[in-house]
Amino acid sequence: MTRKIVQTVLEEAEYKEFRKTSAKAKKSLREAAREAIQRWTEETAGISPDDPIFAIKPVSYGTSRASERHEKIFYC
């Protein structure tokens, strides 16, 4: 896998907070930055159509009134 270098400029206060938070998590600045980028990318990209949740097959309980039975079980 080819890796790329990403650089940015931070204000002094941002850098100090980032450094402090990284140290508290026992991570290098590089590890913390990579994790932040990965999280931001996942959150911003939205839902992936390849997500396994979309491969779940529906379950049939043999009745069209199954939701009423669920309500009685869970909420009564």
pLDDT in tens, 13-26: 999 999 999 999 99
Terminal-residue alpha carbon distance, the chain: 55
| Tokens standing for residue 23 | 């140290």
Residue 75 and residue 51: Cα distance in Å, rounded? 30
Helices (H), 1-76: 12-24, 29-45, 66-75
Residues 60-71 have pLDDT tens digits of 777 778 888 878
Residues 43-59 have pLDDT tens digits of 898 887 788 888 888 77
Q: How far is CA 72 from the centre of its chain?
A: 34
| Tokens standing for residue 44 | 């911003």
